[in-house]
């Protein structure tokens, strides 16, 4: 009888793990993988929303140019995503 009363609690814990903990750890692993594969010249979006180009990398920090002549030093963890180049930047003609 005691085992049957614990079954709902075990089910809730399993559901919590499947819906919350597992996806969060996957996102964290992907973010860590992206941050470790960064290179000089990559266009990035910082977690603060600034877009910039990586000019220099160290183990813990990155120097990012956010405007012409404006270079800021940020922690690698502040880099949220690598920006995808727009078609106009690739030299493709825009369709009207």
Averages of pLDDT over each 10 residues, the chain, 96 residues: 82 88 89 87 93 93 94 93 66 57
* pLDDT for res 79: 92
* Residue 96 belongs to a domain: no
Q: What are phi and psi of 79, to 5 degrees?
A: -90, 115
CATH of the domain at 48: 2.30.30.30
* pLDDT for res 18: 87
Quote the domain boundaries for residue 52. 39-86
* pLDDT for res 1: 57
Using alpha carbons, select from 61, 59, 66 the residue that is nearest to residue 78.
Answer: 61
| Predicted structure pTM score | 0.63
Per-residue pLDDT of 24-39, as tens digits, reads: 899 889 888 888 888 8
Distance between terminal CA atoms of the chain?
72
Specify whether the CB–CB gap between 33 and 48 falls below 8 A.
Answer: no
Secondary structure letter of residue 17 according to DSSP? I
Joined tokens for residue 71: 């270079």
In a shared domain, residues 11 and 46: no
């Amino acid at each position: 009888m005691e085992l049957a009363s614990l079954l709902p609690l075990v089910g809730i814990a399993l559901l919590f793990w499947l819906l919350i903990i597992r996806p969060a750890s996957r996102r964290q692993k992907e973010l860590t993988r992206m941050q470790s594969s960064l290179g000089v010249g990559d266009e990035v979006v910082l977690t603060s929303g600034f877009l910039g180009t990586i000019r220099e990398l160290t183990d813990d920090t990155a120097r990012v140019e956010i405007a012409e002549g404006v270079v800021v030093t940020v922690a690698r963890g502040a880099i949220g995503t690598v920006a995808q180049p727009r078609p106009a930047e690739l030299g493709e003609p825009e369709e009207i």
